[in-house]
A and B are shown apart, each in its own frame.
Chain A
Amino acid sequence: MFALFHYSLRNLWTRRLTTVLTASGMALVVFVFAATLMLARGLEETLIQTGSYDNVIVIRKGSVSEVQSGIERGQAAIVESLPYIASSREGKSLVVKEMLVLVGLPKRDTGKISHVSIRGTQGHALLLRPQIKPVAGRLPRPGSFEMLAGSSIARRFKGGGLREELYCGIRHWQVVGIFDAGNSGFDSEIWGDVDQVMQAFRRPVYSSVTFKLRNAQDLDAARKMIEGDPRLSLEAKRETRYYEEQSEMMAKFLRILGISLTAVFSLGAMIGAMITMYASVATRTAEIGTLRALGFGRRYILTAFLMESLLLGLVGGCTGLFFAAFMQLLTISTINFQTFSELAFRFTLTADITLKTLLFSLVMGFTGGFLPAVRASRMKIIDALRAA
């Protein structure tokens, strides 16, 4: 078995140029394959991390996102008085009434306008979202025109940085602090005081009410109470579920795009591998004959050539994956079709993706090498020896 492996490896080495070219074709395909998976994964991870399992978000029935939703003050007060809401150590009820609006802001690098979410919120919102940590500056004073910007906004948008000024809603807002939300969707938001935001944007309604359940299992009871109340036309869902839904369309789009692209590209690369392997078989006819004459069986020859092409696939797979891993340094920032607001997410490499990618490259190697290997194993000893 070891001799076999050695034989395959030496063959690849002898035809270095061909090996490099074939493997680099495969590496490119693997790169695209891994990168799209990483992108879809990064998007999902960002939105999953945004929600907390025991938080419940309440929005108007039928509205898909917070931006479309509207909850009147009276209705919000009813939700606030639900018995299932947890309270903080100081005895404060863990519920926030928030308003989300989209505002067009220019990007730092291109100056192009994109939609950024501004969240009018209350001071204790940080207690509900422990993943958010202020990293620079200070917290805004309640009731002021001060704002707290997510780290992704601070980097990418004009006026979003510390001590910079934003102009929107005919008002100047001072960014007094930056928070880091651990790669969650909140990183792409700017937070201000809810009452000030409501006034500035002249919207007399909240967008959502979010509360923390005292007991994570109470969701159904709370939901029944909210959705059964004739005064409210609201719906409640877990925050995790809500944010997952927000990314569904986009993640699906990325997946379909990625899969159809790699399917087509891999055809090209597999044909490349096939060409290489056929040539490899053709030039080694005499060698094959000799091996057979020495007593190596057909199965042995088949395995040797399959192994060679699997190795080829593996080299391509590892190279592709190596370069794809660097993509993790990149952050993609684009509009989420569903919420229509800017969202930043990273290419995320997981063990699962690594495995899938390597498997994919092996499959490519196998498919490309199968027919040539079969041809090699079917050669008649006499004919093969005569070819030399």
Chain B
Amino acid sequence: MLIVRLLFKNAFRHKFRAFLTILSITIAILAFVMLRTVIGAWYAGVDASSASRLVSRNAVSIIFPLPLSYKDRIHQVDGVHLVSYGNWFGGIYIDEKNFFANFAVEPRSYLELYPEYVLSSKEREAFLKDRKAFAAGRKLAAKYGWKIGDIVTLRGTIYPGNWDFVLRAIYRGKTDSVDETQFFFHWDYLNETLKKTAPSRADEVGFYMIGVTNPDLSSAVTTAIDQTFKNSRAETVTETEKAFQQGFIAMSGAIITAIEVVSFVVIFIMLAVVANTMAMTSRERTGEYAILKTLGFGGWAIGGLIAGESVIISLCGCLAGITLAFPAAEIFKKALGMYFPIFTVEASSLVMAFASSLAVGILAAIVPIQRAIAIRIADGLRRIG
């Protein structure tokens, strides 16, 4: 107990310096946790996806459509119990800056396949009845102040023209990890309009969403569907929703790697600061160490004192950083909720933060310990500054 008190006394002997060091660790840990959370947010779509849903798209790439006629043939595959389909619409709301995901889906089967989008029964009815209706996530509607019955116009980039939609339903996520920033509307509205304006593009589907009766059947169903359309005008690639999402993330892998690298750079910055503080502290106390040695304490006991002090400082900063991470994540979520619909601090990043500050505390003490052990009593007592 006495030792712990001594360690704390030592750590806070220079109150201002200790405060600055802890502050800098706090900032570093905060930045580290935030960066980890950003990476986590990137993968949020993957975590939220269900294992019992498959996605079929054109084998060439996502920009190529599949014929509508595939719907019934996919339905015939053993193990498939529900098929829905949709198109990425890529519409722009007023300005390109206002980005949100918007797509056309077959509404009845879509809502059945995605029970995590919760609609009140009244709104659900209204949404299904009106072909020009759209449903928006709670956060999206709140951001633009849309109310039920409002007309929203999107400017098509893939499908030219201005498209009017009526907000008939606002959905909520069943859990926190459900994206509440989406915009979806009736596929029929898109298709019927295309039949008039661009008949060659009608009856084409961007992707099929498939519900399987049992997740264990996924791989068999996947192969069966792809076999069905092998060597046809539009071959398919079917994969689980998770793999489909992961495919998108893998494409921006370089950026994620960069963020990951940077999140470790911040740990090194922290190491430099703590090591510096420890180097200065031990330098100033060379005389004291010499006295301790005179009293009969061995080099390792003194090393323990230095290491303990260093760990105490870095853990104080770590705790402060972790505590601040939660309110910071809330602020971040409010400001950038549109880009990162799901932004939650994960336990694993906290563990990593803790482990790295512990490591920093120990590493920072190495050089001072070496010096303290090596110093000869007479030199230590003689030395000034």
Interface residues of A, Cβ cutoff 8 Å to B: 15, 17-18, 21-22, 24-25, 28-29, 31-32, 39, 60-64, 67-68, 101-104, 110, 112-115, 168-170, 201-202, 204, 233, 249, 257, 261, 264-265, 267-269, 271-272, 274-276, 278-279, 283, 332-335, 337, 340, 342
Q: A102-B62, A113-B250, A170-B231 are in contact. Are A272 and B31 (CB under 8 A)?
A: no
B385 near A283 with CB under 8 A, answer yes
Question: What are 15 pairs between A and B in contact, CB < 8 Å?
Answer: A18-B279, A18-B283, A21-B275, A22-B276, A28-B268, A28-B269, A29-B269, A68-B90, A68-B157, A103-B60, A115-B62, A201-B64, A265-B266, A268-B269, A269-B272
B6 at the interface (CB under 8 A from A): no
Q: A115-B251, A264-B27 are in contact. Are A279 and B280 (CB under 8 A)?
A: yes
**Which one of A39, A101, A333 contacts B60 once the chains associate, using CB atoms below 8 Å?**
A101
Assembly CA distance A170 to B158 (angstroms): 25
B269 near A25 with CB under 8 A, answer yes
B265 at the interface (CB under 8 A from A): yes
- What residues of A have a CB within 8 angstroms of the CB of B24 in the complex? 267-268, 271-272, 275
Assembly CA distance A249 to B284 (angstroms): 52
A-B CB contacts (within 8 Å), total count:
151
B352 to chain A, nearest CB (A): 18
A103 near B279 with CB under 8 A, answer no
- What residues of B have a CB within 8 angstroms of the CB of A115 in the complex? 61-62, 251
B367 at the interface (CB under 8 A from A): yes
**Which one of A102, A169, A265 contacts B63 once the chains associate, using CB atoms below 8 Å?**
A102
B7 at the interface (CB under 8 A from A): no
B 38-69 binary contact with A (CB < 8 Å = 1; else 0):
00000000000000000000011111100000
Q: Bin the interface of chain B by size.
A: 35 or more
Nearest neighbor of B30 in chain A, beta-carbon distance? A264
Between A28, A67, A257, A278, the greatest number of chain B beta carbons within 10 A of the residue's beta carbon is seen for A28
Q: A104-B61, A169-B60, A202-B233 are in contact. Are A334 and B266 (CB under 8 A)?
A: no
Nearest neighbor of A257 in chain B, beta-carbon distance? B259
A8 to chain B, nearest CB (A): 17
B200 near A275 with CB under 8 A, answer no
Nearest neighbor of A104 in chain B, beta-carbon distance? B61
- What residues of A have a CB within 8 angstroms of the CB of B238 in the complex? none
A32 near B251 with CB under 8 A, answer no
Assembly CA distance A271 to B270 (angstroms): 11
Assembly CA distance A93 to B275 (angstroms): 68
B21 at the interface (CB under 8 A from A): yes
B31 to chain A, nearest CB (A): 5
